[in-house]
Amino acid sequence: MSLSDLRREYALAGLKESDLDPNPFKQFDTWFQQALAAGLPEPNAMTLATATLDGKPSARVVLLKGFDERGFVFFTNYESQKGHQLAANPLAALVCYWAELERQVRISGRVSRVSAEESEAYFRSRPLGSQLGAWASQQSEIVGGRKILEDRLEQLTQEYQTKPVPLPPHWGGYRVDPQTIEFWQGRPNRLHDRLRYTAQTGNQWLIERLSP
C-alpha cells in the first residue's frame, strides 16, 4: 500500500459550540480525563515546537506534567536545544494528539520558567534513576559514546547511595501561558470540527469555529 492510499475516516463524535466549557482549561481537563479513562498510552505526551530568534523551527515530544489556569507545564534541561531556543525566543506551540479518540488540542503562547519551588517539588517526585539521569546527561550535546553516559550514571549512583540527589541548576520546568487553544475533533469527509479559544482582556476567551 502506498502512502497516498493510507487514510482513515473519522466518525466517533462531533464538537458543537454548545458542548464547550467557556473556560478552555476546564474543557482541556474534560478531554484529558476522557483520554485517561480510555487507557491511552502516555496521554500526556505532546509535541513541543520552538524556534530560534531568526525563525528556524524544531519540534520534539515531551510530557505534560501539570496544567491549570496559569498554563501548561513541562520539565527539561535548560541547556538543551529547546532551552536555548526558549531563552532567545520565549514563544512555543504544543500539540496533544489522541488518535484513538480522533482528537487533538493545539496550544500556542508565551513561555516562562516555573518557580524553583515547583521544579524542586517535581524533581523530588521523580524516580531515582530519572533524577540521576538529569545530572548524567548534557542534553543535546554531542557525546562520544553510550559508555560515557553509562559510566557517568554509575559514578553518580555510587555518589548518591546514601544521600538525596540535589536539583540540578540546569534543570527545571517551563509553563506555556496560552494565547490560543484549539480543540479539533475528527469528522467524516474531512469536515472536522475546529473550535478555537483566543485570550481576551479580563480572563475572558473568544470562541470561534474554524474551517477544517
Clarify whether 190 is annotated catalytic: yes
Backbone dihedral angles phi then psi of residue 148, each to the nearest 5 degrees: -60, -45
Q: Considering the domain boundaries, does residue 107 fall inside one? A: yes
Q: Which helix (H) or strand (E) holds 68?
A: strand 66-68
DSSP 3-state of 126 = coil
With bands split at pLDDT 50, 70 and 90, how would you rate the model's confidence at 2? confident
Q: What is the pLDDT of the chain when averaged over all its residues? A: 95
Q: Which helix (H) or strand (E) holds 50?
A: strand 45-51
* Among 140, 67, 71, 68, CA closest to 112: 71
Mean pLDDT of 183-209: 97
Range of the domain at 174: 10-125+168-210
Mean pLDDT of 14-22: 96
* Alpha-carbon gap, residue 122 to 131, rounded angstroms: 10
Q: Considering the domain boundaries, does residue 72 fall inside one? A: yes
Q: Whose grid coordinates read 506534567?
A: 65
Q: What is the pLDDT of residues 146-187, one digit of tens each?
A: 999 999 999 999 999 999 999 999 999 999 999 999 999 999
Pairing mode, strands 193-199 and 205-210: antiparallel
Q: Considering the domain boundaries, does residue 106 fall inside one? A: yes
* Alpha-carbon gap, residue 188 to 185, rounded angstroms: 10
Q: Considering the domain boundaries, does residue 143 fall inside one? A: no
Whole-structure pTM value: 0.93
Q: What is the pLDDT of residues 152-161, one digit of tens each?
A: 999 999 999 9
Mean pLDDT of 98-114: 98
CATH number for the domain harbouring residue 118: 2.30.110.10
- Indicate which residue of 8, 190, 194, 209 is catalytic: 190
pLDDT of residue 5: 73
Q: Considering the domain boundaries, does residue 53 fall inside one? A: yes
Answer for the pair 109, 198: CB distance below 8 angstroms, yes or no: no
Look at the chain and report how many structural domains it folds into: 1
CA distances from 41 to 28, 93, 165 (A): 18, 22, 29
Backbone dihedral angles phi then psi of residue 201, each to the nearest 5 degrees: -70, 155
Answer for the pair 64, 72: CB distance below 8 angstroms, yes or no: yes
Cell numbers of 185, please? 475533533
Q: What is the pLDDT of residues 40-81, one digit of tens each?
A: 999 999 999 999 999 999 999 999 999 999 999 999 999 999
Least confident of 27-36, 64-73, 96-105, 137-146: 137-146
Q: Considering the domain boundaries, does residue 142 fall inside one? A: no
Q: Considering the domain boundaries, does residue 139 fall inside one? A: no
Q: Considering the domain boundaries, does residue 147 fall inside one? A: no
